[in-house]
A and B are shown apart, each in its own frame.
Chain A
Amino acid sequence: AQSVAQPEDQVNVAEGNPLTVKCTYSVSGNPYLFWYVQYPNRGLQFLLKYITGDNLVKGSYGFEAEFNKSQTSFHLKKPSALVSDSALYFCAVSLRSNDYKLSFGAGTTVTVRA
């Protein structure tokens, strides 16, 4: 079984401030972890992934995430948020044994105010 939890439905930050979107996961095995973003009226877009190796992964648009095995977390971060980062963010997990099946969290709506 595999699942993710995104504890915050909404995150509000001022432009220029750091942005963090939280995600914790539960798997019975080695996880693949992902972040996707959904802009209004657009399809889900891949941001970044953790497969193996360095715990800090960097992705598109200046986002990064840190894999923490002891805390089973994979929080998404951006040092300085932009208004254009306002969107719906999804964390997802899959197992290496069935990497085609992603389990998504419920999503976190990020609003960056000018």
Chain B
Amino acid sequence: DTGVSQNPRHKITKRGQNVTFRCDPISEHNRLYWYRQTLGQGPEFLTYFQNEAQLEKSRLLSDRFSAERPKGSFSTLEIQRTEQGDSAMYLCASSTRRDRNTGELFFGEGSRLTVL
């Protein structure tokens, strides 16, 4: 399968623990995005990478959240000292800027976080 891959698919953790999610984008895509989706809501933008550079972070990303994309390939999203309010589906997407007007994002199936 050559789509966007996310791991783990589901993580259950206790409040205060740290969690890390991994995203492997489509190989030729230089843009990578993280979104968060809570029940009954649409996805909310968290952050965006172009190659290895993190170009924008949403104010939704508190200092407990950090995202990296070393070498411009896979990306990790770490949440430190998790809180129950962090429970959500974390979505990764990738795209190419080969065509400036494409605007189409390819989403993974998401990583669901449950904080007890």
Contact = CB atoms under 8 A, between A and B. Distances in A.
A92 B41 CA distance: 12
Interface string A80-99: 00000000001010100011
Interface residues of B, number: 26
Interface string A30-65: 001010100001111110010110000000000000
17 contacts: A32-B103, A34-B103, A36-B107, A41-B109, A43-B3, A43-B4, A43-B107, A44-B93, A44-B107, A90-B42, A94-B103, A102-B105, A104-B43, A104-B44, A106-B42, A107-B40, A107-B42
Interface residues of A, number: 25
Interface string A100-114: 111111110000000
A100 B91 contact: no
Interface of A: 32, 34, 36, 41-46, 49, 51-52, 90, 92, 94, 98-107
Interface string B94-116: 01000001011111111000000
Interface in B1-53: 3-4, 31, 33, 40-45, 48, 50
Name, among A43, A100, A102, the residue most crowded by chain B CB atoms within 10 Å (CB to CB).
A100
B42 A46 contact: no
